Amino acid sequence: MKVRFSPRDRMTTGVNALRGFAVAALATFAVGLAVAQQAPSTPGPAPARALSGDLPVPPPPAITGTAWILVDAVSGNVLAGENYDTPLEPASITKVMTSYVIAAEIAGGKVKETDQVMMSENAWRQGGAGTDGSYSGFEVNKTAPLEQMEKGMVVQSGNDAAIALAEHVAGSTDAFAQLMNMYAKRIGMKDSHFVNPHGLPAEGHVSTARDLAMLGRALIHDFPKAYSYNKIKEFTVGPITQPNRNLLLWRDSTVDGIKTGHTSGAGYCLMASAKRGDQRLISVVMGSTSEAQRASDSLALLNWGFRFYETHKLYDAGKQVAQQKVWKGQVNEVQLGVAEPMLVTIPRGKYDQLKPTMDVPKSLVAPIRKGQAIGTVKVLLDGKVVAQRPLVALNAVEQAGFFKRLWHELLMWWYAD
């Protein structure tokens, strides 16, 4: 139910008190919305902005590929795409999932970056130099620090390193694949199934462009250090130095990832991400015809997204958005805000058309914990929700004493609809 800021009109002292609170709450909420809709600090001429806002976003560039998608990394909103829910071979983009699992297991204390990882004979035979795929070059039956082995997997796309890491983390590639699928489910990847940690063709090993973009968002947000390996341009193992296969790292300084992939069945694939100012976009192109084509198409998508969409911060984390009446508490109000910064990506020129709304319970009763979810703040554009976040309590409200609780119980009954 929408927040209601005024009680019934009754000629009593209690009514007047609540009416005073309603005025204060309404003023606070209005200030919060005004901040959310404040014009940019350096707006262009009014007529030009009005014209820009009235123009539709032109169609995205033509993409050569089986499936592709462009998403906003903050909200996950799909800005453009085609066949992005079709399950396809993800090739070596699979290794992004492997990186996520490793980072999550490190965060959970299961393994450490300093662990010595063995390049087993199995890893060497299945993914080493004697195979058709990419390899890192770590010596067989010798160890290397986990962090170095992971960079060999990420930068060089080493299949041997992916296998060795999987064996170290889970004991076998089969057991590691089970971890991959469990984490994928937790992330929200609904149409993906992983069979191995490297992405070489295997029956039932599939993902979608949308799921892979979701995975990229998760890695960037949850494990920024692990993500940072993706921008390393080259990596050396022994006497062998290999470049990162993501050509965009050399073409655009704002691109900092993510991963390439190629097999005969999957074609040429690229998951790319770039950040310009507060705005980050993620593109996924699958089934392209060449290494050059996947790179040029991905950069064209990113440029189109940055040109015609913009990101705005509406609310800062931990800052008051509104305040709400609390019954039976030691204090009579609770401050509401968002736990994480609330940003929105919208077509350029539409900023002034955003309409924020709040939904909170009709009555709030103490006790209330700090950080407790109270309701939701939503931002609409053209009648559609373009961003939403939980509203949380910024301060705790302890339960009041017996007599105040009794008095508020009577008032709640009196003003009940």
Any idea where the domains of the chain sit in the sequence?
13-36+316-414, 67-311
Full-model pTM = 0.79
Does 296 qualify as catalytic in the annotation? no
Residue 193 pLDDT: 98
CA dihedral 11, 14, 15, 16 (to 10 degrees): 90
Does 95 qualify as catalytic in the annotation? yes
Measured CA distances, 77 to 166, 203, 313 (Å) = 32, 31, 15
Instruction: Considering the candidates 136, 157, 273, 288, report the single residue annotated as catalytic.
Output: 157
Binding residues for substrate: 259
Residue 11 pLDDT: 32
Residue 102 pLDDT: 98
What angle is formed at CA 90 by the lines to CA 386 and CA 221, rounded to 5 degrees?
40
Q: What secondary structure, in 3-state letters, does the chain show?
A: CECCCCCCCCCCHHHHHHHHHHHHHHHHHHHHHHHHCCCCCCCCCHHHHHHHHHCCCCCCCCCCCCEEEEEECCCCCEEEEECCCCCECCHHHHHHHHHHHHHHHHHCCCCCCCCEEECCHHHHHHHCCCCCCCCCCCCCCCEEEHHHHHHHHHCCCCHHHHHHHHHHHHCCHHHHHHHHHHHHHHHCCCCCECCCCCCCCCCCCEECHHHHHHHHHHHHHHCHHHHHHHHCCEEEECCEEEECCCCHHHHCCCEEEEEEEEECCCEEEEEEEEEECCEEEEEEEEEECCHHHHHHHHHHHHHHHHHHEEEEEEECECCCCEEEECECECCCEEEEEECCCEEEEEECCCHHHCEEEEECCCCCECCECCCCEEEEEEEEECCEEEEEEEEEECCCECECCHHHHHHHHHHHHHCCC
Token code pair at residue 70: 């462009």
The verdict on domain 13-36+316-414 having CATH code 3.90.800.10 is: no
Are both 13-36+316-414 and 67-311 of the same fold? no
Contact residues for 208 (Cβ-Cβ < 8 A; gap 6+)? 67, 84, 85, 86, 87, 88, 191, 192
Binding residues: 259
Instruction: Considering the candidates 95, 325, 328, 350, report the single residue annotated as catalytic.
Output: 95
Q: Any bridge partners for residue 344, and if so which?
A: 312
Of 227, 191, 285, whose CA–CA distance to 95 is shortest?
Answer: 227
Residue 62 pLDDT: 96
Residue 36 pLDDT: 37
Instruction: Considering the candidates 92, 136, 192, 298, report the single residue annotated as catalytic.
Output: 92
Does 264 qualify as catalytic in the annotation? no
Average pLDDT per block of 10 residues along the chain, 417 residues long: 35 38 38 36 39 75 97 91 98 98 98 97 88 89 97 96 98 98 97 97 97 98 97 94 96 97 96 94 98 98 96 90 89 92 90 92 89 93 90 91 87 79
- Domain 67-311: which CATH class? alpha beta
Residue 390 pLDDT: 94
- Axis crossing angle, helix 94-107 with helix 173-187, rounded to the nearest 10: 90
